[in-house]
C-alpha cells in the first residue's frame, strides 16, 4: 500500500486494553511509525472529549478527534475551522426521565464536551464517566440544563439493548440515532439523527478532499457499523460483536488485549 491512508480507530474494545485505560507501548510505537510514513490516524469514539483527550495525547496525534459517536469532531488545542458540534434537543432528556419506568432505566445523563449531568447516582458507575466518584454538581437539575447536550447516555435493565434502541427511536419519531455500548452494561447512547462516526469521517474527507477508498477503519461494536460500512476497508476485531461482523471487510485474528490494531497496521505498512 503506497497511498497515504486515513486510519480511523475506535477506542474501547479496539485500541484500548479491556481496562479501558491502557494503550500498550507496542501500539504507541507502531502508530508513531505509521504516522511517520505520512498516514493519518484518527480517533473515532463514543467517548466524550474529556475522556478521550489523554489517549489522544498519549498517541501524540495532531489529527481531528471524533467524539460522541460522530456528534463532535475537533482538533484538540487548535482552532480548526471545520470543527463540528451537533446537539440533541434537551427536551428529550426530560421526556426520557418521564418514561424511565417504561424503558427500565437505571439512570440517564446529558453529556457535553467538558461536563455531564446525571439524574441518579445510586445505580451508575462513576468510572463510566471517567471519574472516581460523583459530586453534587453532577446532579441533573432543570436549571442546570440550559444548553442542548451533544449526547444522552442511559443505562437500561432491558437485556435486548438493540430492541430498546428501536423503541426509543420510535418514541422520538426517528429523530435520533441510538447506539449500544459493548458488553453487558446495558448502555445506550443517543445522538442527533443522521449522526455517526461515518458522518463525521465523511465531513473530514470532504473538507480535506480525500478519497474514501483510502479510509481504513477498526472497530468492535454496534456503534462502529456505519463507520466500517463507509470505509474503503473495514476491520472488525477478533472480539467484535456479531452485529458488526456483517459490515466488516475483514475480521482480524487478534483482540484488543492482543494489540490487534497495531499488529494489523504493522503488517500493512511496516
Residue pLDDT, tens place only, 80-138: 999 999 999 999 999 999 999 999 999 999 999 999 999 999 999 999 899 999 999 99
CB 126 within 8 A of CB 132: yes
Residue 183 pLDDT = 55
The pTM (predicted TM-score) of the whole model is 0.93
Exposure string of 69-98, with b = 16+ CB inside 10 Å and e = fewer, is bbbbbbebeeeeeeebebbbebebbbebee
Residue 184 has pLDDT above 70, yes or no: no
* Alpha carbon separation from 200 to 10, 67, 73, 74, 194 (Å, rounded): 13, 9, 7, 10, 10
Domains defined for the chain, CATH in brackets: 6-85+195-269 (3.40.50.1000), 91-192 (3.30.1240.10)
Residue 141 pLDDT = 87
Confidence of residue 160 (pLDDT cuts 50, 70, 90): confident
- Proportion of the chain above pLDDT 90, given as a percent: 86
For residue range 97-112, what is the model confidence (pLDDT) as tens digits?
999 999 999 999 999 9
Written as nine digits, the cell of 36 is: 511517520
CB 250 within 8 A of CB 236: yes
Averaged confidence pLDDT in the chain: 94
Confidence of residue 228 (pLDDT cuts 50, 70, 90): very high
Residue 1 has pLDDT above 50, yes or no: no
Written as nine digits, the cell of 149 is: 447536550
Written as nine digits, the cell of 246 is: 456483517
Amino acid at each position: 500500500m503506497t497511498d497515504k491512508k486515513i486510519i480511523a480507530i475506535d477506542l474501547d474494545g479496539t485500541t484500548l486494553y479491556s481496562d479501558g485505560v491502557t494503550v500498550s507501548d507496542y501500539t504507541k510505537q507502531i502508530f508513531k511509525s505509521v504516522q511517520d510514513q505520512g498516514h493519518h490516524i484518527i480517533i473515532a469514539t463514543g467517548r466524550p472529549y474529556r475522556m478521550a483527550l489523554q489517549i489522544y495525547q498519549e498517541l501524540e496525534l495532531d489529527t481531528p478527534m471524533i467524539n460522541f459517536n460522530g456528534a463532535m469532531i475537533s482538533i484538540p488545542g487548535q482552532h480548526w475551522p471545520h470543527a463540528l458540534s451537533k446537539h440533541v434537543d434537551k427536551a428529550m432528556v426530560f421526556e426520557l426521565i418521564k418514561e424511565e419506568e417504561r424503558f427500565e432505566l437505571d439512570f440517564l445523563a446529558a453529556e457535553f464536551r467538558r461536563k455531564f449531568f446525571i439524574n441518579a447516582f445510586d445505580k451508575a458507575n462513576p468510572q463510566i464517566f471517567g471519574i472516581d466518584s460523583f459530586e453534587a454538581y453532577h446532579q441533573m437539575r432543570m436549571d442546570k440544563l440550559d444548553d442542548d447536550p451533544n449526547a444522552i447516555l442511559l443505562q437500561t435493565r432491558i437485556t435486548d439493548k438493540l430492541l430498546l434502541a428501536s423503541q426509543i427511536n420510535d418514541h422520538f419519531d426517528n429523530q435520533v440515532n441510538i447506539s449500544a455500548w459493548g458488553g453487558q452494561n446495558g448502555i445506550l447512547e443517543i445522538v442527533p439523527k443522521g449522526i455517526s462516526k461515518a458522518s463525521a469521517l465523511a465531513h473530514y474527507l470532504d473538507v480535506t478532499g480525500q478519497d474514501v477508498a483510502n479510509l481504513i477503519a477498526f472497530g468492535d461494536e454496534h456503534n462502529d457499523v456505519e463507520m466500517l460500512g463507509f470505509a474503503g476497508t473495514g476491520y472488525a476485531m477478533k472480539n467484535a460483536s456479531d452485529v458488526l461482523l456483517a459490515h466488516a471487510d475483514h475480521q482480524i485474528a487478534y483482540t484488543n488485549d492482543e494489540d490487534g490494531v497495531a499488529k494489523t497496521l504493522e503488517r500493512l505498512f511496516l
